[in-house]
Amino acid sequence: MDTKKAGFNSKLIHAGGIEDPMGSAVTPIYQTSTFRFKNADHGARCFSGEEKGYIYTRLGNPTIDDLQNTLAELENGYAAVVTASGMAAVNNVYLAFLGAGDHMVSHNSVYGPSRGVMEKLYPKLGVESTYVDCTHLENIEKAIRPNTKLLYLETPANPTMGITDIAGAAAIAHKHNVLVCVDNTFCSPYIQKPLDLGADIVLHSMTKFINGHADIVGGCVVAKTKELFGEIAYVMKNVGFNMDPHQAWLTRRGLKTLSVRIERAQANAKKIAEFLENHPKIDWVLYPGLKSHPQYELAKKQMAGPGAMMSFGVKGGLVAGKTVMDNVHLALLAVSLGGIETLIQHPASMTHSKLSKEEREEAGITDGLVRLSVGIEDVDDIIADLDHALSLV
Ligand SMILES: *Cc1c(COP(=O)(O)O)cnc(C)c1O
């Protein structure tokens, strides 16, 4: 079915555009490394691009195409690549658009390894970077230099829930001929479509909401234009960031329920955020769906909903936060996010432990900050679990 004009939920189920010759309702797992040519001329036509035929799985595979085509439609992009992990997607973008003498501007509390790898490996390639609080647009403008090539955003940011105005940031970047990439992992295209807001590239850790079942690691990059896609696809194919067909199939299956999963998790999250905000042992809650979020209005403007991620501070700082994490039974004490199960974690000692204490504080990641990824369990059970753990503080 041609889903180009269909609604988002119909795309989730039917997009992909791969027709199976056997008539299978679901695109099968083409678990093969290579494809047989009909004859030498056919092989030559596939290589020259004269004919769209499959050659070798690192370069293309029907199961992988099914997922890539779907993601491009969901994000309103030109085309997508899928990668072995979210970090492969991040590095795919860095390598495609940054080289010796180039500079990148990014948000100070982006996903830990997205900053870590930029500051550790990329200086070896002659790439410089500046991390600022991008939730204040004037910081972006100040950080841009004549050699800045990429503005790399993540919004809402991990784990501070800081929101960057994508349209505003893109307008500043484009004035200086700087490309804009948004890590849309926290939202998924169901909640936020960065390309529609002015970004040039969007990426995901599909390990999170897109697959949604905590059973694969994967990533994707979606480009707005053919030219950008060409640069991205070259890196994916030749650096070898590609995804395995079985991983792609599982992800495509998980993706079908994205809307229903997020609707449920988000409804749970709204109730949990209100419960926490009114709890006497809680200092503060940061959730884009609460009026107390400093960027509540901006969140409402650029996101279709507040999502299922929040962070909070327990009165008594780290010790109290640890008591909560050690006494939940339904929520899993685990990193990652966006799955059907509720996860709780402590960024200062876990996901953001590679940053120095000063860098963490500058980014708003205090020692007492606890991050919650709300799942699709019964909300009363999640609240009872948190309430019990808080009662021991
Ligand atoms: C998890 C995550 C990544 C990295 O993805 P992996 O699949 O773990 O490699 C990148 N960005 C964000 C926001 C993430 O949450």
> How many C-alpha atoms does 134 have within 13 Å on its Cβ side?
32
Which pLDDT value is given to residue 1?
76
Give the pair of three-digit tokens for residue 143: 């950080």
- Which residues have C-beta atoms less than 6 Å from ligand 1? 85-87, 90, 111, 114, 154, 158, 183, 185-186, 205, 207-208, 217, 219, 337
- CA geometry: angle 235, 338, 90, nearest 5 deg: 20
| CATH superfamily of the 258-391 domain | Aspartate Aminotransferase, domain 1 (3.90.1150.10)
- Would you say how long the chain is, in residues? 393
Give the tens place of pLDDT for each residue, 277-315: 999 999 999 999 999 999 999 999 999 999 999 999 999
Q: Does residue 146 have a cis bond before it (omega within 30 degrees)?
A: no
Q: Which residues of the chain have pLDDT under 50?
A: none
The beta strand positions in 164-288, using DSSP E, are 179-183, 201-205, 219-223, 282-286
Q: What's the 205 CA to ligand 1 centre distance in angstroms?
A: 4
Q: Where are the domains of the chain?
A: 8-255, 258-391
Q: What does the alpha-carbon distance between residue 224 and residue 80 come to, in Å, rounded to a whole number?
A: 9
Q: What pTM was estimated for this model as a whole?
A: 0.96
**How many percent of the chain have pLDDT more than 90?**
89
Q: Could you report how far apart the first and last alpha carbons of the chain are, in Å?
A: 55
Torsion of CA 30, 36, 38, 44, to 10 degrees: 110
Residue 321 near residue 209 (C-beta atoms within 8 A): no
Closest atom of ligand 1 relative to the 87 alpha carbon: 9
Q: Are 183 and 154 in contact (CB under 8 A)?
A: yes
Just list the catalytic residues: 58, 111, 183, 208
Query: What sign for the dihedral angle of Cα 378, 384, 389, 393?
Result: positive
Q: What pLDDT, on the 0 to 100 scale, is given for residue 204?
A: 98
The highest-level CATH class for domain 8-255 is: alpha beta
Task: Give the atom of ligand 1 at the shortest distance from the alpha carbon of 336.
Answer: 1
Asked whether the bond before 156 is cis by omega within 30 degrees of 0, the reply is yes
What is the four-CA torsion angle of 286, 288, 293, 299, rounded to 10 degrees?
A: 150
